[in-house]
Structure 1
Amino acid sequence: MSLPSEPLDEAHATEPVRWNLRILAGHLLRSAASVVLLTALYYLAPLDGGFGVLAVVLLVLGLLLFGGLVAWQTAAITRAEYPRLRALEALATAVPLFLVMFSASYFLLSKELPESFAERLSRTDALYFTVTVFATVGFGDIAPTTQAARALVTGQMALDLIVVGVIAKVLFGAVRIGMRRRGGRSPIPEDDS
């Protein structure tokens, strides 16, 4: 699907703009839906068990799923008609998945060992704490206090660096490959900065 470079007449002058907005809106809506769905699943998931071997195994399996999702998304970006917008969708799925996995782990750890954090964590508290660690804004009202909690938080911090650095580089590299494959066409205006 290529966009016409010039309108045929005044009646069709806004068609490329409408087409571009529709494409952009579709990608943005799918991205928002991914975030909402993953957040809803986090709040609805039956997190009744405590933090033990099963929780650690599930976290590791979730991280492997995350890696597989990023690999699959990277391949999809290189083949996408609009690689930049596909990369946005990939980030809107991968990052929230990463965050809710750690949030669930912190919630379960706090439930099993309430002394693990400066205060007992609700699901919202655990999500807040996870995003705080991810954004590297430091600890305020919630901080890890036990060795287990500190080890888990340290693991998240190390993986945050990988997610922010390596994963972003991989996704942006896939965008470049996809743009070369497409010949550089984009549904949204380029930023010259």
Structure 2
Amino acid sequence: MERNAARRRRRFLLGHCLRATAAAGLLTALYYVAPLEGGFGILTVLTLVLGLLAFGLLTAWQVSTIARSEYPRLSALEAVVTAVPLFLIVFSATYYMLSESVPGSFSESLNRTDALYFTVTVFATVGFGDIVPVTGTGRVLTTVQMIADLVVVGVIAKALFGAMKIAMRRRSGGGLPSADEDDAP
């Protein structure tokens, strides 16, 4: 019986790891093959908004899934490893299209890898070095990402880990937390 439980846990762990890795790999591959040469305009802004909406919907669905999961920690980890690359690639594609259509928006022209590097640099808050936004549009877009980064790191992380806590309490027979317990550090 215990051997079957251990085997089942390993299978769940492997499944979560494979899905998360496949999702991140697929998103990255799609980023590199997507036709992004259309330039920066209303369609780009619409794509950014729709991408961020997709990120929000994915995260909401993942919070629900985590709260019902048999292995909430694994589900939360899978959610982060799936959602964060989507978030980063949406901004990276936008920076790339801006650099293509408005040369001089950044301190150097950005290819897809440069745009991804810049996006991760902004997300990780390590500061600017070799690539910086130069135009107003580039700076506004970077500011939007910085604000969205704070939301992702703060609010979304709290929602994911809150759902994980709920699922863990349910598993241990504790039920749903009270409002006071949920706000405790």
Give the alignment of 1:43-82 within 5 angstroms.
43-82=32-71
Tell me what 1:174 maps to.
163
Number of aligned residue pairs: 173
**Alignment match, 2:15:** 26
Q: For residue 120 of structure 2, what is the aligned residue in structure 1?
A: 131
Cα distance in 1 for residues equivalent to 2:19 and 2:7: 18
Q: Which has the larger radius of gyration?
A: 1
User: What is aligned with 1:190?
Assistant: none
Does structure 1 residue 183 correspond to structure 2 residue 169?
no
AA aligned to 1:23 is: F
Q: 2:26: which partner in 1?
A: 37
Say if 2:153 is the partner of 1:164: yes
Inter-partner Cα distance in structure 2 for 1:82 and 1:114: 48
For residues 105 and 96 of structure 1, what CA distance do their matches in structure 2 show? Answer: 14
**2:99 matches 1:91:** no
- RMSD between aligned residues: 1.3
Aligned-residue sequence identity (percent) comes to 64
After TM superposition, which residue ranges in structure 1, 4 or more long, deviate above 3 angstroms?
Answer: 15-19
Q: TM-score, normalised on structure 2?
A: 0.89
Whole-angstrom distance in 2 between the partners of 1:63 and 1:175? 23
Structure 2 stretches of 5 or more lacking a match? 174-185
The TM-score with structure 1 as length reference comes to 0.86
Structure 2 CA distance for aligned equivalents of residues 135 and 129 of structure 1: 10
C-alpha distance after superposition, 1:119-162 (max 9, x if no partner) = 00000000000000000001111110000000000000000000
| Runs (5+) with no aligned partner, structure 1 | 185-193
Match of 1:117 among 106, 129, 144: 106
Indicate the SS of the match to 2:104: helix
